[in-house]
Amino acid sequence: MKYCSHCHQWKDESEFSRLKSAKDGLQYYCKTCNNAYHQVYKLRYLEAKRKGNRNWRKNHKEQCSKIARSYSKRAAENLYDRYIIQRLRDSLGLPTKEIRQHPDLIERERDIIKIYRVKKQLLKKCTEYGTGK
Ligand SMILES: [Zn+2]
């Protein structure tokens, strides 16, 4: 039997986790107390982190909106590496791993998509303005 210094109860040794640095090789608190303790610690940590994030956002509004803008811009363009790799995989039939080893290939595909999109936009503008009718 071992005394838990947290819940002040005598419990079977099997109720204690191992701790090499302790004299008897067991944790000071029983498993139940340890779990509860870690749960509280975790919650406290998460709460502090959330608060920290919130404060950071409050103090860096300009920076935040800049980051959000750049994210949404890229998302709108759908030019994430993942998307491009998927396109290359479909058109070339190469495995993702091999495509990742050729960043120049990814960049080229990105340029092709960009050009294609500009072309599409121009064509749309042309039809909007009328093609010389
Ligand atoms: Zn206990």
pLDDT tens for each residue of 13-40:
999 999 999 889 999 999 999 999 888 8
Q: How far is the CA of 16 from the centre of ligand 1 (A)?
A: 9
68 located within any domain: no
Which residues does residue 11 pair with via DSSP β-bridges, in sequence order?
2
The domain of 103 spans 78-133
36 located within any domain: no
Segment 44-63, tens digit of pLDDT: 888 888 888 888 888 988 88
Q: How far is the CA of 4 from the centre of ligand 1 (A)?
A: 5
108 located within any domain: yes
30 located within any domain: no
How far does CA 87 lie from the centroid of its chain? 23
pLDDT for 110: 85
Segment 53-94, tens digit of pLDDT: 888 888 988 888 888 887 767 665 657 788 888 888 988 888
Q: How far is the CA of 15 from the centre of ligand 1 (A)?
A: 9
66 located within any domain: no
Q: How far is the CA of 43 from the centre of ligand 1 (A)?
A: 19
Residues 22-60 as b/e (b if ≥16 CB within 10 A, e otherwise) read eeeebbebbeebbeeeeeeeeeeeeeeeeeeeeeeeeee
Q: What is the tally of structural domains in the chain?
A: 1
